[in-house]
Amino acid sequence: MTGPHLVDAPPPIPPQPPIPPTAAGVPRPVVELLPPGVNHLETAPVVPSATSEGEPRERHRSSARGSVVRRIFMGAAGVLTAFGVVVALLVGYLFGFTALQHAQAQHRLLSGLSGKAGLTALSGKIPPEGHPVAILQIPALHLQQVVVAGTSAPDLALGPGLMPGSAPPGVLGNTVIAGRRLLYGQPFAGIGGLHRGDMVRIVGGLGVFTYRVISTRVVRPGQADPVVPTADARLTLVTSDESLTPTDRVVAVAAMVSKPADIKVVAIGIPPASQRALSGDHRALIPMILWGIVLVAGVIFTIVLYQRWRRPWPIYLMTTPVLLAVAVLCFGSLAQLLPATM
């Protein structure tokens, strides 16, 4: 009789010693024991990697979008910065550079009138537009200016101007002199502050003539025009009001207290609107537009170069003088478009 076939049982696993606790009292992690010959790396489950194949592409797309946004932001910042610089240059030109131009023009005109020969050349006849007519002195304003012929915007950039159609200084009639209030040295900024009794002197080829202020007022559209011819010998000083788009005029009227020159002058009448010192020179519109286009194109071109070149100093040295020259030409045309007495 044959007994049942017995299968050899695996040897028993000897008992493991207890795992001592750590210093903090927390038991150490249990390490699973595998049978001999089994690699734990083969039995470990495969965990998907955190860096999949699509993640680099997504990172590249995000980086590209960030680069585009950065370029747009830097471009907008560059445009705003350039706009601020242009506005600052414009303000500096209008209130600083024009004053230097006016001072230089007055020095040149005064040098031409120095000495008796210069003033003797001035007679009762009005010289060509832009040429000196007389010297205006207002002690209350500490003002001395060479008066030129004409009241257009280019004329008043040189100094106060004798309005066409008015009487020459020192003769019977209304001698109208206009001047700027805000730009080009602002020689007539204090005209509205003259008081009754203040003295005004005019030195010309016909002699030295003294006037006394009798009134100052603001003349609005529709009121009696102060530049019309008169039978008495008077001096009318005209400038614009304090608004940025002046429509009113500030006027100071002075009566002659000295003996007028014995010269008869036929009154021409009221000058045209372009010579009443409230409008600018419309011929400067096209040059301003052209120079403005060149200036904007130059600024954009410079910004692009700044963004592409790692060293901006050579670009700065090359473009800054050119841009400043173009800006001066553009601002000069713009200043001629503004009201002549502004």
Same domain, 319 and 202: no
CATH of the domain at 194: 2.40.260.10
- What SS3 state is found at 15? coil
Compute φ and ψ for 269, nearest 5 degrees. 115, -170
Comparing 247 with 140, the larger pLDDT belongs to: 140
pLDDT of residue 304 exceeding 70: yes
Comparing 57 with 203, the larger pLDDT belongs to: 203
Same domain, 141 and 288: no
The C-alpha atoms of residue 107 and residue 73 are separated, in whole angstroms, by 49
In a domain, 147, yes or no: yes
Same domain, 193 and 228: yes
Comparing 282 with 286, the larger pLDDT belongs to: 286
In a domain, 88, yes or no: no
For every residue of 76-107, DSSP letters joined together read HHHHHHHHHHHHHHHHHIIIIIHHHHHHHHHH
Torsion of CA 111, 116, 119, 121, to 10 degrees: -110
Looking at the structure of the chain, the number of domains it has is 2
Of 42-51, 208-217, 300-309, the least confident: 42-51
- What SS3 state is found at 248? coil
**pLDDT for position 286:** 94
Query: 13 pLDDT band (50/70/90 cuts)?
Result: low
In a domain, 230, yes or no: yes
The C-alpha atoms of residue 217 and residue 214 are separated, in whole angstroms, by 10
Q: Which of residues 213, 240, 267 is at a domain's end?
A: 267
In a domain, 189, yes or no: yes
pLDDT of residue 146 exceeding 60: yes
In a domain, 273, yes or no: no
pLDDT of residue 137 exceeding 80: yes
Helices 285-308, 313-337: axis angle to 10 degrees equals 160
**pLDDT for position 115:** 56
**pLDDT for position 219:** 87
Q: Which of residues 234, 267, 300 is at a domain's end?
A: 267
- Structural domain containing residue 316: 283-337
In a domain, 331, yes or no: yes
The C-alpha angle 45, 46, 48, rounded to 5 degrees, equals 140
pLDDT of residue 68 exceeding 80: no
Q: pTM value? A: 0.73
In a domain, 116, yes or no: yes
pLDDT of residue 25 exceeding 90: no
Q: Which residues contact 322 (CB under 8 A, 6 or more apart)?
A: 298
Q: What residue ranges in the chain does DSSP mark as E strands?
A: 132-138, 143-149, 161-162, 173-178, 199-204, 207-219, 233-240, 249-256
Helices 313-337, 54-92: axis angle to 10 degrees equals 50
Same domain, 221 and 195: yes
In a domain, 190, yes or no: yes
